[in-house]
Amino acid sequence: MSNNTPAAKITVLGSGNFGTCLAHHLAQKGTPVVMWGRSQLIADSINTKHRNPKYLSHIELSPLLSATTELSDERLKNTEFLILAIPTQSLRQVLETLKGRIRPDTVIVCAVKGIENDTLCFPYNIIQQVLGENYATQTAILSGPSFAIEVAEQRPTAVSVGCMDKQVCNRVQELFHTAYFRVYTLDDPMGLEVAGALKNVIAVAAGAAVGLGMQQNARAALLTRGLAEITRLGAMLGAQPLTFMGLGGVGDLFLTCTSEKSRNFTVGYRLGKGEQLDVVLKTLGSVAEGVWTARAAYNLSQKLGADTPIISAVHGVLFQGKTISEALYGLLNRDMKAEVQLPQGTKPHA
């Protein structure tokens, strides 16, 4: 197939690991899917060989999945579901090219995880600013513990989809749900976005801890206190605390912080073993959102006055020249404090 392939009702933006696995997953359900990416080499390979030569290359992709490097007006006019699976720092630029070209009833499914560095905006905010409130209302956030390779191999997976519009949420649930890819709904898209972005930063810290040789006690403490930071910052942004106890919160955090399949964990692990950041990033093979999110998350926590020592430590190592040993020493020698701090005026239960 070529770039002249007729538009399908599902268009996926992004031909990386997650974009490819989602497009393949939806095509396997029997609906034609068009996947957009910048690489003509990838598009040609998918259209002629049913393989993405760079990402998930061992997976034979569904014949109902085609690829393109162009987004024509006709294709966008026929798109009922627009799936976003591109790096956060590129999202605004890509959406600007779509402004005024998407049909009014298009449902946007955002699988982007991160914070825009210049504006400290989450993907939902970027969609709202570029495309308008109507499209933001029709945007569903898809997040949860879901390594792309396992989804592509039809390994059992469960995720959450969050949207303020219940009908849109149910439509997206129906679109993605299968016996091996279970989708649960909730009405807190902001909570899913905060958890999805910040867990990548905590994963860098977790990988560094393992690289330094820290054992299971320390890793459990790091994940738990990392979850506390995510919940604290999320509450300041209006998220529901219970969201962080679900699949998109503690579920995704646990997966990303405990597996060598995680790109962000791998970055931290290699840093903990003494490698330089620029070398790690050049040889990683794909984008590690946690590195760039660490800068934005640190700036956001400073802006809001949030207590986020692990995020601050990761930022210090990545961007302020601190050694991992210095960052670890700073975390271990913080002042003593209560684990749970109740809001002022709240009385604990007897």
Are the beta carbons of 179 and 29 closer than 8 angstroms?
no
Alpha carbon distance 114, 136 (integer Å):
17
- Which secondary-structure segment (H or E) carries 234? helix 216-236
Alpha carbon distance 326, 262 (integer Å):
24
Gap between the terminal Cα atoms of the chain: 68
Are the beta carbons of 50 and 62 closer than 8 angstroms?
yes
DSSP string for residues in 21-84: HHHHHHHHTT--EEEE-S-HHHHHHHHHHS--SSSSTTS---TTEEEES---HHHHHT-SEEEE
Q: Catalytic pick from 54, 166, 199, 322? A: 199
Which residue has 């987004």 as its token pair? 71
Are the beta carbons of 101 and 72 closer than 8 angstroms?
no
199 is catalytic: yes
Alpha carbon distance 109, 337 (integer Å):
41
Give 139's Cβ-side CA count (13 Å radius): 27
What are the catalytic residues?
199
